[in-house]
Structure 1
Amino acid sequence: MQQINALKELLATPKKIMITTHHKPDADALGSSLGLAGYLKKKGHQVQVITPSDYPSFLNWMSGNEDVLVYGPKTDAKARQITQEADVIFCLDFNHLGRINELGEYVRVAPATKVLIDHHLQPDTFADIMFSDITAAATCEIVFDVIRLMGEEHLIDVPMGECLYAGIVTDTGSFRHASTTRNVHLIIADLLQTGIDICKIHRNIYDSYSEKRLRFLGYVLKDKLQVVREYNTAYIAVTAQELKDYDSQTGDTEGLVNFALSIEGVRFAALFIDRTEAVKISFRSVGDISVNEFARNHFEGGGHKNAAGGISYLPLVDTVEKFVDLLPLYAPQLTK
């Protein structure tokens, strides 16, 4: 309650508020940001959401999307000014300032009070007020709980509720991951009570593929999927040229790693994407296999126990070779 009381005091009078989230925001990152923004605007605050990069077009339907400032060379000066002038900066769905690229240094030196709302492991300590819950299924779940603890759940309307639902449904894998708790379902029940249209949300997120994205998916599953049965592992490696060939857009590779994990018997999956400047990696696992530890130990990454990310500055071929060579070290966990 100490953190809630501190937040109540902080928000007792109108403030200039900035909200930011991690690089390449997903539904939980953007949904929590826009959901929180809607709540804060209702309380009379001046709010600006700034994302450190662009995000998938299938998230553009979210209420408030049209007002988001996407950071880049052309918006650098404006983003820096907003950050510097903010009274409060909310940091959502990331636990280290390195996850917001150039914005990280701006936030670090800003005089604003920093508020962290996040559910990833090993949070950094840059924030003045922290709502960090690694057992939460999504940052949207924590945002809902914070609003409820503030005694203002009644302020959650349909636009806000749809943003929060989107983050929860995607981060729980449509409620099939182990993080789907009783609290998650109770929150969804409350969001449904506001009148949100879950059919519309699902169509916007899952049924809005471009033709090129669908053909890219088919190509990847047919020609790029590799299965290492000896270690119950599957992986996909996509080259920069293949991304270019299929005119890949932001969000087109999202969820690919889950197809690898969906193979019967597979307990560990990885997706390697050559982004030219570096190889971005997604890891997924089931059971007691901690991809968070794997990513932290070998690929400068981290995240959740069963879902994490990493990065490699080696060429794609060498990165994949390093990954495969590591598998024997984890044989006891992968083959039991």
Structure 2
Amino acid sequence: MQNIEAFKAFLSKPQRVVITTHHKPDADALGSSLALASYLKKKGHQVHVITPTDYPDFLRWMAGNDEVIIYNENQQDHCAALVADATLIFCLDFSSLDRINELGAEVRESKAKKVLIDHHLEPEDFADFVKWTTEAAATAELIYELIYDLGDESLIDKSIAESLYAGIMTDTGSFHHPNTTKNVFRVCGELVGLGADTARVSKLIYDSNSVDRIKFIGFALSERLTVIPELRTAYFVISADDLKKYHSRTGDTEGLVNYALSIEGIIFAAVIIDRTEAIKMSFRSIGDFSVNTFARKHFEGGGHKNAAGGKSDESLEKTVSKFEALLKDYKKELTTTIVEYAD
């Protein structure tokens, strides 16, 4: 954060703080939000965490979860009042206000000072204070650095450390992705030193599956996976009926796209899901093929070079047809992309 001293001075007085994060929060979004909230409360600020939607049950172990306010029809007025009354609003793990749905307009109109902390491409210019870089693997990495830069590393306790570790662990794909840098290991090492139990966090995140979710994954792998070797592409198409059949809950489809990307020779993977209100899409890639560009250009989305999302307001069938047609347009890029790994 370039104006860290001005920000530190602003935080020297008690503030009414709202922390919000993107639609369908993942471990990085929620972990960053709850860790920051816990830290700010220790500093004497009044803090509320508001999420635009619900989030997976396997994240509810994080300290502070019981106080999260989910923006829905029963809480809209309450959330609006908190945003309007806030003197400081943190926007974590998203680059534009449309990523927080109806909350976006309320945050934009608020007279509060706004802070953007994020690592996604092309951030919207709306914040008074910004800590942003695409070189960070996770927003949780940036939250740790912010607390450190403010001179308050001693305030990071076990619960804060574990929430931040969860965000970094998941956004690096358990340290598998190319965004796993030297700084990632340095920060995680510090978090372990501050009390983070890595085995516990991994167990809570990855080993809390319901029987329905395991059966759904098996069904998706056997019945809904399409592989196109000549285009180095694999993708899942999941209907609303599929989700209903397996009693799908928020988070049950998370990580499915990685199964497609794990296939030998595949560099582009997608999951296309009928969420009824819209068709939601997740994209992953290996090497120089930019799914961020693909999502922004064709499916009103974006994200990172190798991990992005998108959506479509057309039917599932039309969306899949459009996607398959686009693959042919990108044939040269898909077939010539070089992926190199050291022996």
Q: CA deviation at 1:332?
A: 2.1
Q: Which residue of 1 aligns with 2:67?
A: 67
TM-score (norm 2): 0.97
Alpha-carbon offset, residue 168 of structure 1: 0.2
Task: List structure 1 runs of 4+ shifted beyond 6 angstroms.
Answer: none
Matched position secondary structure for 2:234: strand
Q: Distance in 2 between matches of 1:204 and 1:159?
A: 13
Map of 1:1-336 to 2, 5 A cutoff?
A: 2-336=2-336
Q: Which amino acid aligns with 2:2?
A: Q
Quick check: 1:3–1:131 contact (8 Å CA) kept in 2? no
Q: Alignment partner of 1:289: what SS? A: coil
- Write the letter of the residue equivalent to 1:174: S
Deviations 1:258-310 (A, max 9, x none): 10000000000010010111100000000000000000000000000000000
Separation in 1 of the partners of 2:260 and 2:42? Answer: 43
Supply the distance in 2 between the matched residues of 1:153 and 1:28 (Cα, whole angstroms). Answer: 19
Residue aligning to 2:340: none
Shift of 1:3: 2.3
Q: Distance in 1 between matches of 2:212 and 2:231?
A: 33
Please tell me whether the aligned partners of residues 162 and 195 of structure 2 are also in contact (alpha carbons under 8 angstroms): no
Range 235-244 or range 4-13, more displaced? 4-13
Structure 2 SS opposite 1:108: helix
In 1, Cα distance between equivalents of 2:291 and 2:212? 31
> Hey, what does 2:341 align to over in structure 1?
none
* Distance (whole Å) between structure 1 residues aligned to residue 89 and residue 3 of structure 2: 15
Distance 2:25 2:53 in 1: 8
Residue 186 of structure 1 deviates from its aligned partner by 0.5
Q: 2: CA distance between counterparts of 1:129 and 1:195? A: 30
Structure 2 SS opposite 1:215:
helix
- Alignment partner of 1:2: what SS? coil
Cα distance in 1 for residues equivalent to 2:3 and 2:180: 25
Contact 2:237–2:273 under 8 Å retained in 1: yes
- SS across alignment from 1:116: strand
CA distance in 2 between counterparts of 1:223 and 1:257 reads: 15
- Residue 2 of structure 1: CA displacement? 3.3
Q: Amino acid of the residue matched to residue 237 of structure 1?
A: V
- Rounded to whole Å, the distance in 2 between the matches of 1:51 and 1:6 is 27
Whole-angstrom distance in 2 between the partners of 1:282 and 1:74: 29
Conserved in 2, the CA contact under 8 Å of 1:284 and 1:308?
yes
Percent of matched pairs sharing the same residue? 57
Tell me the TM-score normalised to structure 1 length. 0.99
How many residue pairs align between the two structures?
Answer: 336
In the TM superposition, residue 176 of structure 1 has moved relative to its aligned partner by: 1.1
Give distance in 2, aligned partners of 1:230 and 1:47.
52
Aligned residue identity for 1:325? A
SS class of match (1:117) = strand
Over aligned residue pairs, what C-alpha RMSD do you find?
Answer: 0.7
Unaligned runs of 5+ in 1: none
What's the CA shift for 1:196? 1.5
